[in-house]
Every structure is written in structure tokens, then in C-alpha cells.
Structure 1
């Protein structure tokens, strides 16, 4: 499933797992993917989020408020929630829709914004809309024709 993912996108998944572990969550949802994008810090997704003043600490605080922190450390494999898994699948559709042959962080973010998961709830709670974030992504994609991490 991850063969089309760029190095940055794969890193986002790893960082999302780390974020889930830090919060003692035994699941990986859209909120963790959002935190992973921000923790990665350099991809188009992070750039789009930061351009809208969405920062990692702010998202972490909102996740704590909405989801809470687990009482028991998560051990071993952390499975995706159905919405988290759907976001991964949707990222391929977003990539193909844009005529790309890779899945970059921008496709992951567009896919997360497509869902009705916790990430969208957080963005809405911050007074933004998925459409505003999407516009930022498309503006950055227009300025960045090379796949992310193409030279990495």
C-alpha cells in the first residue's frame, strides 16, 4: 500500500504513530496523521497548515481536549481507525485526481480533510474550514511541481 508514498509521507505515518504513543492512544486516527504532518514540518501539508497558523502544540492540545490521553501506554502495533485507514486510501484517489503518480503529504492532507474525522473537527474548532486548508494546498502544489522529497 505504501509503495507510492514519498519518503516524507512515510515519515508522516511514522511520526503519527509516535504522536499516538506519546498520548497513550491505542489507535491511529486522522488527528494523529494531522500531528504527524506538522511534526514532519517541511512537506506541503505542513506548509499549508502553518500558513493557516495551525501548529503542532495547538493540535496536540485540541486532541487532549477532544480525545483525552490514554491511561496505559500503547505497546506494539498501533492500528489505524476506520477513518485513518480511509484517509490513506483516499490519499491515492487525491493523487490520481491531480494526475500524480506519487502520494505526497499534500495528498494525505487532502484525504484527511475529505473525512469527517477528529482532524476536521479540530480544524473547524479553530475557526477554519477544510476548504480554506485545501486552497492553501492547491496554491502550494501550483508553486511546487516536483514531487516532495524527489531529491531526498
Structure 2
């Protein structure tokens, strides 16, 4: 599928990854694709890059690349084999003093593969948008995928954070769709 992407569309996908990283998000969602498209110059009436970025920052919590706390899962696994962590803690504190188990925790580190590759995974909805961009190109009988096709995919997906942000901003999907299709028709001619 990616062989059909124009350089501008590829740049938009890379920019979506950059947007996710700059916001400390551990995923690339529809919102990051929307930010990338707006940031690369695609115009959507009623939206600005700054407004969407502020919305994304307000609506998505920071999701750093750290392992979730596994204390509860570990405790459950130990209970399953007859070890009660609360009893163990009490025994240690009786023998070594209160607070003996409270050691400073090191700051979480990013996994080596994430640092090395810079990989940020796409959410299922973002993957769907990219698939829908291909379907839009096929529907329009075009053998390339441009940023406008990706935006058509965002509009067609209609369920991710990008769709919510656009709806809250009063964006008319039919109007945007018409403008994008006209631009693509002119480009293909």
C-alpha cells in the first residue's frame, strides 16, 4: 500500500509520528494524522493547526513508553502459589524495621528498541484511516495516495479523536470532502 503514497503523503505519516512524540504520546492516533495534515499545509475550513494541537494536548494524556506497574499482578501470581505478600512485608518490617522495603525507585527508562528505532505504534483507528485512504484513491480511480486521500480517510473513519475535534469545531464533513475531491480531480487531470 505504501508504494502508492506520494512523497507528501509519506511526509505526513512521518510527521504524525513526530507529532505523537512531541506530545509524549506512546501511540499515533487519528488526532496525530490530523495534526500532521494541517501542519503540512492541508486546509480544513474551521480548523487551525494550533487549535487542534491544543485540543489534542487537552484530551490525550501523556503516555510515555514505560512498563505498567506490575505489583498487583505479581501479588496475585504469588497468592496463587500460597505466598501472601502482606505477611512477607510484615515479617521483614518486624525483623529489619519499618520502611526497610522502601527503596528509592530509579526513573523509568525507555526501551532500547524504541530509542533505537523511534517506533511509535499506530492505533487501530489510525491504521484504518490509512486503509481508507487507499479505498478513497481507488474510489476516485487514482493510482496514488496524497495527503488529501488521508484526510478523506479521516473523514470516512468518523470515530476517532480527529472526528470528535472536527465535530466540536463545527467542521462540515461534506463540504471538506467536496473540496478535497475537487483538488484531487484537478491534480489528477
How high is the TM-score relative to the length of structure 2? 0.68
Distance in structure 1 (CA, Å) of the matches to 2:136 and 2:63: 36
How does 1:7-22 map onto structure 2 within 5 Å?
A: 7-22=7-22
- CA shift, 1:71, in A, is 5.7
Residues 120 and 130 in structure 1, CA contact (< 8 A), matched pair in contact too: no
User: Which residue does the alignment assign to 1:72?
Assistant: 64
Distance in structure 1 (CA, Å) of the matches to 2:40 and 2:123: 21
User: Which residue does the alignment assign to 2:134?
Assistant: 92
Distance in structure 2 (CA, Å) of the matches to 1:7 and 1:91: 15
Distance in structure 1 (CA, Å) of the matches to 2:151 and 2:125: 13
User: Which residue does the alignment assign to 1:149?
Assistant: none
Distance in structure 1 (CA, Å) of the matches to 2:64 and 2:8: 30
- CA shift, 1:140, in A, is 2.1
Residues 5 and 104 in structure 1, CA contact (< 8 A), matched pair in contact too: yes
Residues 26 and 63 in structure 2, CA contact (< 8 A), matched pair in contact too: no
Residues 136 and 153 in structure 2, CA contact (< 8 A), matched pair in contact too: yes
Alpha-carbon displacement from aligned partner over 1:87-140 (angstroms, at most 9, x marks no partner): 111111100000000011111000011111111100001012322221221232
How high is the TM-score relative to the length of structure 1? 0.84
User: Which residue does the alignment assign to 1:144?
Assistant: 187
Unaligned runs of 5+ in 2: 66-109
Greater Rg by CA: 2
Q: Match of 1:3, SS?
A: helix
Q: Match of 1:28, SS?
A: coil
Q: Match of 1:101, SS?
A: coil
Structure 1 residue ranges (4+ consecutive) displaced by more than 4 angstroms after TM superposition? none
Structure 1 residues 90 and 71 mapped into 2: Cα distance closer, same or farther (>3 Å)? closer
RMSD: 1.7
Distance in structure 2 (CA, Å) of the matches to 1:132 and 1:62: 22
Residues 29 and 123 in structure 2, CA contact (< 8 A), matched pair in contact too: yes
Residues 46 and 169 in structure 2, CA contact (< 8 A), matched pair in contact too: no
How does 1:94-113 map onto structure 2 within 5 Å?
A: 94-113=136-155
Unaligned runs of 5+ in 1: 147-152
Residues 31 and 119 in structure 1, CA contact (< 8 A), matched pair in contact too: yes
Distance in structure 2 (CA, Å) of the matches to 1:104 and 1:141: 8
